[in-house]
Structure 1
Amino acid sequence: MQKNDSAKVAVIQTASVLMDQEANVEKACQLIAEAGDNGADLIVFPEAFMSGYPRGLAFGSVVGKRESKGRKDWARYWRSAVTVPSEATEKLAEAIRKVQAYVVMGIIERDDKGSQGTLFGTMLYFGPDGEILGKHRKLKPTGSERLIWGEGDGSTLTVVDTPFGRVGGLICWENYMPLARMALYQKGVDLYIAPTADARDTWQSTLRHIACEGRCFVLASNQYVTKDMYPNDLACASDLEEQPEELCRGGSAIVNPLGAYIEGPLYHEEGILYATLDLNQIHEGRFDFDVTGHYARPDVFQLTVNENPNE
């Protein structure tokens, strides 16, 4: 594939319309159109954009007990999830074809072909023709996420070849898993996608470390969410009473292969970060550090990855 010397990227920081698939599709299509009209070659959405990261909700659960009201909210969340492919993904594809950009979309995925009661935190990779080029399911949901999401497997450690380099990534705290990162480095990732729900200062050090470690651009997208953006008719609405008004402050950023910010981090508002990346910086960065090349020691360390799907 012919490689370009530059690429314009758009990292979107916005809130989901929690538990409303149709409204999320409409919002996503509007944002794709906006970023595309501004010349973006690659558009990145936050973790769990469709149909939401239910921050602050316990779904009526404590150890050893689950309340019926929590089951009602869970069923609503399940119904808003996205099957792949589906009418929802085709509507996204239609919007993508109009702007001819690559898009990485964070979804909550419902697998109607397998265990229909399990949801997955997933990244979908769309090509400029709207084709789904691949997906990645989060390998290890964090903390209470394990209550609502299942575990992905090694078959979705996806890297996509594009005219501006290989695009791949991990979701949120998967990026704290050194071997998962190394699996992507072994696949030659150039533009590393890191959607997240983590708005803490320490997350920013992770983004900069990955950029230095992989000598890659890091595109990190988060949501900006306040309590008044949530539905007002949740069965477990009382879960939010002790939560702050600003549930997630954001922190989306674009980082270069030497760990310096190009744009962001963006806090306390929704917005789109744009940057035109000089792709030559990837090769310049690997002059003195190539984690899978001249700085590797395969005679000492070897990584074996099971990329077979779980049956």
Structure 2
Amino acid sequence: MTINDSAEFRRIKVAAVQAEPAFLDLEGSTRIACDLIAEAGRNGADLIAFPENFVPSYPNWYETLSEGAKARDLDRRLFLNSVVLPGEHISTIADACRQAGVNAVVGINERRARTTGTTFNTQVHITRDGVIAGKHQKYVPTTGERQIQAPGTTGHHNSFETDFGIVSGLICGENSNPLGQYAAAVHYPVVHVASWPAYFGPGVTLQHAIQTASAGLAYSLKCFVLSAVLRLSDAYIEAVAATDADREYLEVQRAAKQGAMIFSPIGERIGDGTGSDERLVYADIDLGDVIIPKMVHDTAGHYNRPELFAPLFAPREG
């Protein structure tokens, strides 16, 4: 799959989410996702990007509750409220895309059908016609995610077609994975969706990570990047804080109002919702802006020598 040779490279409007889901509530988070899609449609958006595991919530509690009955209860609630593909709740979200006329990349915790304990960290690509174009499961769960989420089974695929061109997507830390980036680059995306949680653990600033990784990715792929982020709710803090110090830390993270960001194909920040209470950050973009940067650095084509690097992937003994 590569960009259509007859692509118009037209102007479109994009939206990146910075909002709270309904914590570990499949029905409630589905409703919020549909509301955001409808809002984006009313405001003329062609594409909406969701954060990591928006439906039904991202399992950050491994930062504060890695062990014990409370942590295991949250794990159980997550599994029971995760999304089955295909299934009722993703169909509801797809129908919202059709009604609003908006393409979407939706972050979900995906529950493998007919199992009792397997979930994946997944982005679902949905067209403005309400068709599920495909899904990308996170290649490798990061740190404590491994308690809950399995390694992805969707191969290297992370890019899918829309009416305006290819949209790629990666989840959280894998946005800095060079091979994940290359898997996107070979399909020539015009827009990339980077899905992020609400915060990282102590010592790592989410805003710095998002800005650094997303700007670098935009410059590398030579496409627009939408970085969508979760916001923390009262219900989340109440459920996850194990100590007063935990609660204080989480309140500081919430007060920071980490914002969604949008980057140009040369890595310039053209949208930033940091500090804003709005649930969506918008930008009007000209897809033709990808052409000149790609003519300079096409890492999937003329600006690469894959035959030189192929020996690095040969099987090694020992």
Q: TM over 0.5, yes or no?
A: yes
C-alpha distance in 1 between matches for 2:100 and 2:184:
28
Say whether 1:194 aligns with 2:201: no
Sequence identity percentage:
34
1:22 paired residue among 27, 35, 49: 27
**Residue aligning to 1:208:** 215
Say whether 1:10 aligns with 2:10: no
Contact 2:158–2:183 (CA under 8 A) maintained in structure 1 = no
**Residue aligning to 1:262:** 270
Shift in Å, 1:156: 5.6
Letter matched to residue 88 of structure 1 = H
C-alpha distance in 1 between matches for 2:122 and 2:195:
10
**Residue aligning to 1:77:** 78
Contact 1:82–1:110 (CA under 8 A) maintained in structure 2 = yes
Q: 1:171 to 1:258 in 2, by over 3 A?
A: same
Give the 5 Å matches for 1:144-183.
144-155=144-155, 157-183=157-183
- Give the TM-score of the pair, scaled to structure 1: 0.88
**Residue aligning to 2:285:** 277
Shift in Å, 1:157: 1.7
Letter matched to residue 288 of structure 2 = N
Shift in Å, 1:86: 1.2
C-alpha distance in 2 between matches for 1:166 and 1:107:
21
- What SS does the corresponding residue of 1:221 show, helix, strand or coil? strand
- What SS does the corresponding residue of 2:94 show, helix, strand or coil? helix
Which 4+ runs in 1 deviate beyond 6 A? none
Q: Deviations over 1:55-103 (max 9, x none)?
A: 24568544xxxx3333222211111111011111121122111111111
1:292 paired residue among 300, 303, 309: 300
Shift in Å, 1:172: 0.4
C-alpha distance in 2 between matches for 1:127 and 1:14:
22
Contact 2:126–2:133 (CA under 8 A) maintained in structure 1 = yes
Across the two proteins, how many residue pairs are aligned to each other?
Answer: 297
Contact 2:50–2:195 (CA under 8 A) maintained in structure 1 = yes
Say whether 1:54 aligns with 2:55: no
Which of the two has greater helix per residue? 2
C-alpha distance in 1 between matches for 2:229 and 2:124:
16
Point out where structure 2 has 5 or more consecutive residues left out of the alignment: 200-205, 314-318
- What SS does the corresponding residue of 2:309 show, helix, strand or coil? coil
Q: 1:39 to 1:118 in 2, by over 3 A?
A: same
C-alpha distance in 2 between matches for 1:14 and 1:80:
19
- What SS does the corresponding residue of 1:140 show, helix, strand or coil? coil
C-alpha distance in 2 between matches for 1:156 and 1:303:
19
Letter matched to residue 220 of structure 1 = S
Contact 2:210–2:227 (CA under 8 A) maintained in structure 1 = no
Shift in Å, 1:158: 2.7
- What SS does the corresponding residue of 1:53 show, helix, strand or coil? coil
**Residue aligning to 1:103:** 104
Q: 1:74 to 1:6 in 2, by over 3 A?
A: same
Point out where structure 1 has 5 or more consecutive residues left out of the alignment: 306-311
- What SS does the corresponding residue of 2:185 show, helix, strand or coil? helix
